[in-house]
Amino acid sequence: MQNNLFIYNSLSKKKEAFKPIHPPFVGIYVCGPTVYSDTHLGHSRPAITFDLLFRYLTHLGYKVRYVRNITDVGHLENETLGEGEDRIEKKARQEQIEPMEVVQKYVNAYHKNMEQLNTLSPSIEPRAAGHIIEQIELIKTLIKSGYGYESNGSVYFDILKYNEKYRYGKLSGRVLDELMSNTRNIEGQEEKRNSFDFALWKKASPEHLMRWPSPWSVGFPGWHLECSAMSIKYLGEEFDIHGGGIDLQFPHHECEIAQSTAALGKESVHYWMHNNMITINGQKMARSIGNFITLDQLFSGDHPALQQAYSPMTIRFFILQAHYRSTIDFSNEALQAAEKGFQKLMKAIESLKKLKPSDSSTIDVIKLKEKCYEALDDDLNSPIVLSHLFEGVRFINSVLDGSEKIDASGLESLKTLFNTFVFEILGLKDESAGIGDEKLTGELMKIIIDLRQTAKNRKEFEVSDKIRKELNNLGITIKDRKDGTPEWEKAPL
């Protein structure tokens, strides 16, 4: 199996030809959400970025095992220091339910939102709290190899020791000296050999709810550990691609590299991929500054910063309009432009269904298809793919107005091209197929109301009455407004 795909490797900081370890198999591990609150705009970007990768590799014929984890334990409030309350336990206390009820609630919400965004289910979706035994085994290995040390029931990773043989900071570019000067003298860090050492296992305080027995204490695993343990379990000691948001490079992925390398004596991941962030009007999204928007709020328009509701496909289109390594700035203007663009694309596809073939063609569909593949092969350049598709849109519209023409086989190829790139690979979908039955209902009602009006104008009252009665049987009421334009409604109970 061959491919021309180049992927930007965050580790080497350059684009590299993608060579899977065991073709036709490809293994991908992506860091999923910590499920302690509603899915927000920020979650949609890695989900869509790596869904695009999953779809494209599958399209190329690879058998992809796509693992995306759920973090349901160990992610503490201050993730850089690895200190503070567990995020899920805090929410459980606030909502007065069990931590695992918090997890269930927000996993359900996440799955619903992911389905709305038309992201495919990963092949395996492992949870941290479901892999305690695997994490304990990994800690044992790290202690045995000298990189983990126990202290007062907790176990930490010895970064200085690791740095003697390997290089801590190789992904994020952080320098150890800098870390040393920044993280000194923080309270409660006395257990550690060095304040920047991170926890592999934490002894639980008496009030801590999520706790498991271990050789060192009743406690819980450190946040970084789960991804090393679960990627090794489901993808093997070496696997192809590890993805996640750029905000996870440090400390999360840096610590993951250290753990896996120390345990296995070799690099585990061949390609590291990181999507960039979404800012809101130029600012980082954060609960504290009130610009935090959940996906449900975006889809309903129910947030003070939103001028309107934006559909899931508008969000998906908006994200695909930028290359995954660029930042995207969210604003109503940008979203509205995305909505227009998406609708234009869908409308052209509707027109494409109705195009009549000519005897000859003024378009080179093969060339257009090649350009789409080239863009994807260039580190998943989705905005360029979209720009080529809009070249197709302009062509479709020109055939419609008669200034261009297409022959029968060209028309078939063009339909295949749009099906392949728009629906199969970019994962967009025609929302009018769903909501749209609603839209279609509206359009059909317009025709019926118009016909009823015509009948009334002609004084064919038996016709207009019959229409009213038949609609009533469907639960639809027509109200003649004062200005003469009738309204209709479907009655609720």
Contact positions vs a copy of itself (CB under 8 A)? 65, 97-98, 100-101, 103-104, 108, 111, 121-127, 129-134, 136-137, 212-213, 234, 349-350, 352-354, 415, 418-419, 437-438, 440-441, 443-445, 447-448, 451, 454, 463, 467, 470-471, 474-475, 491-493
3-class secondary structure, 200 = strand
CB of 365 to a copy of itself, least distance (A): 15
Tokens of 341: 């663009």
CB of 451 to a copy of itself, least distance (A): 5
C-alpha to C-alpha distances, 18 to 146, 239, 240, nearest whole angstrom: 34, 12, 9
Whichever of 384 and 467 has its CB closer to a copy of itself, that residue is 467
CB of 70 to a copy of itself, least distance (A): 11
C-beta atoms surrounding 144 within 10 Å: 10
Whichever of 178 and 460 has its CB closer to a copy of itself, that residue is 460
Query: In terms of Cα–Cα distance, which of 377, 478, 484, 467 is closest to 421?
Result: 377
CB of 11 to a copy of itself, least distance (A): 26
CB of 464 to a copy of itself, least distance (A): 10
Type and span of the H or E element at 63? strand 63-68
Contact residues for 382 (Cβ-Cβ < 8 A; gap 6+) = 52, 320, 321, 322, 323, 324, 375, 376, 426
Give the pairing of strands 63-68 and 25-30: parallel
- DSSP class per residue in 174-195: --HHHHHHHSTT-TT-TTSSST
Whichever of 337 and 455 has its CB closer to a copy of itself, that residue is 455
CB of 437 to a copy of itself, least distance (A): 3
Whichever of 364 and 450 has its CB closer to a copy of itself, that residue is 450
CA 350 distance to own-chain centroid:
27
Whichever of 215 and 383 has its CB closer to a copy of itself, that residue is 215
CB of 445 to a copy of itself, least distance (A): 7
Q: Give the Cα separation of 478 and 154 in Å (integer).
A: 71
Tokens of 104: 């269930």
C-alpha to C-alpha distances, 152 to 193, 202, 273, 365, 455, nearest whole angstrom: 12, 9, 37, 68, 88
**Residue 384 backbone zone (phi > 0: left; psi -120 to 50: alpha; other: beta):** alpha
Whichever of 5 and 117 has its CB closer to a copy of itself, that residue is 117
Whichever of 67 and 257 has its CB closer to a copy of itself, that residue is 67
340 backbone dihedrals φ, ψ, rounded to 5°? -60, -45
Whichever of 17 and 440 has its CB closer to a copy of itself, that residue is 440
Whichever of 170 and 415 has its CB closer to a copy of itself, that residue is 415
Query: For residues 251 and 173, is the Cβ–Cβ distance under 8 A?
Result: no
Whichever of 16 and 98 has its CB closer to a copy of itself, that residue is 98
CB of 263 to a copy of itself, least distance (A): 15
C-beta atoms surrounding 371 within 10 Å: 16
CB of 396 to a copy of itself, least distance (A): 12
CB of 129 to a copy of itself, least distance (A): 7
Query: For residues 345 and 388, is the Cβ–Cβ distance under 8 A?
Result: no
Query: For residues 212 and 73, is the Cβ–Cβ distance under 8 A?
Result: no
